[in-house]
Structure 1
Amino acid sequence: MALFGLLRRRTHERAGFALYTAAVQAARDPGLFGEDGVPDTLEGRFDLIALHAALLVRRLHRDPDPRGPALAQAVFDAMFADMDINLREMGVGDMSIGKRVRVMWEAFHGRALAYEAALEAGDEAALEAALARNVWGGEPPAGAARRLAGHAMALNAALAGQPFEGFVAGQADFRATPVGAGA
């Protein structure tokens, strides 16, 4: 009987991976990178994935459906399973992967809390400041943090307007307004 328990999928696992994949695809939008955008580095890519995943997890947690927290956890689990795999593919040794993943978790958690506070308050300036601090170390190109904050606010609104059943089916639409069009 214990063997069958090992082979059983966790609730929402498939949907969590599908939702995380949608967040990663949105975070890879070339319009988010460049001279006046997020640096196209490992850190910059992590920051955009963290932002998109945090927006998704926030949406799932805020839903009145009692499955929301479990689905949010499935997205979080998919994210850090992916981070583990990526570190291994980059050649990071087995002995240090746990420490690296913990550092990434702490970075994600801190960012998610900062973004959540700004979004909850509807304070785009606070979100801009948090993004400037986390993504660019406080020195973003002119207007870049403002554009990314506007984009995040628009995505937050777009995700809030999507039905929960779509998320349960592993579907999330990360299209809001085009990047660079004032968002």
Structure 2
Amino acid sequence: MLWPFNHFSKPRGPLRGTIEGIYGMIVTQAREPLFYRDFGVIDTVDGRFDLLILHLWIVLRRFRSAEVSANVSQALFDRFCDDMDANLREMGVGDLAVPKRMQAFGEAFYGRSTAYDLALAAGDEALAAAVCKNVLNGEGMENARRLATYVKTALARLDRIDDAALLAAAWDFPAPSEAGGSRS
């Protein structure tokens, strides 16, 4: 189980570089302007957070099938938590409010992850509905379908790479336009 507040065992050595590389890829992809311009994701703190969680879920889902230890998944999740903590503090959230906000972030991650897992198993329309609710604030089913196609493309791309490439961060996410992101 990924525990959102397990900061006692920070990754060291090669694992730290792996986690930094993969988390950097997740953040970079979540900031891709095409998601905001062409998929209807609202370019706000909440919109960026929801897209970050979606990409983190994509990668952690692939880790489940990899021959990697649970420590790698936990370390990636811990890196996400550290980033959220730092962002809250940078935005001026007081020390007493940070734990409560971090708990809300953890609940959001687990709720969305469960919704995406269930929706993926239920089919394309269910995945689009989950994306619409969690990323697009319940608006824009056409954009949600295109974003769901992107998610499935990203999952398929990650499924095709071997575990060594996964851990070496020797892969990339598909461009949103590869998965129907550009509107003509």
TM over 0.5, shorter chain: yes
Q: Distance in 2 between matches of 1:51 and 1:6?
A: 25
Q: 1:172 to 1:80 in 2, by over 3 A?
A: farther
* TM-score, with length taken from structure 1: 0.85
Write out aligned runs for 1:1-183 (5 A). Answer: 9=12, 12-34=15-37, 37-63=40-66, 65=67, 67-119=68-120, 121=121, 123-138=123-138, 140-141=139-140, 143-175=142-174, 177=178, 180-181=181-182
Report how many aligned residue pairs link the two structures.
Answer: 174
Q: Distance in 1 between matches of 2:119 and 2:10?
A: 41
Structure 1 residue ranges (4+ consecutive) displaced by more than 3 angstroms after TM superposition: 5-8
One-letter amino acid of the structure 1 residue matched with residue 158 of structure 2: L
Q: Distance in 1 between matches of 2:105 and 2:171?
A: 24
Question: Alignment RMSD, CA only?
Answer: 2.4
8 Å CA contact retained: 2:149, 2:180: no
| C-alpha displacement of 1:118 | 2.2
| C-alpha displacement of 1:31 | 0.7
* TM-score, with length taken from structure 2: 0.85
Q: Distance in 2 between matches of 1:44 and 1:102?
A: 19
Q: Which runs of 5+ in 1 are unaligned?
A: none
1:91-131, Cα deviation, whole Å (9 max, x unpaired): 11111111101101110111111111222x26111111111
Q: 1:49 to 1:36 in 2, by over 3 A?
A: closer
8 Å CA contact retained: 1:31, 1:179: no
Q: 1:171 to 1:82 in 2, by over 3 A?
A: farther
| Structure 1 partner of 2:3 | none
Q: Distance in 1 between matches of 2:69 and 2:15?
A: 10
Q: 1:94 to 1:132 in 2, by over 3 A?
A: same
Q: Which runs of 5+ in 2 are unaligned?
A: 1-7
One-letter amino acid of the structure 1 residue matched with residue 42 of structure 2: P
1:38-86, Cα deviation, whole Å (9 max, x unpaired): 00011100010000000000001122x1x24221111111111111111
| C-alpha displacement of 1:142 | 5.2
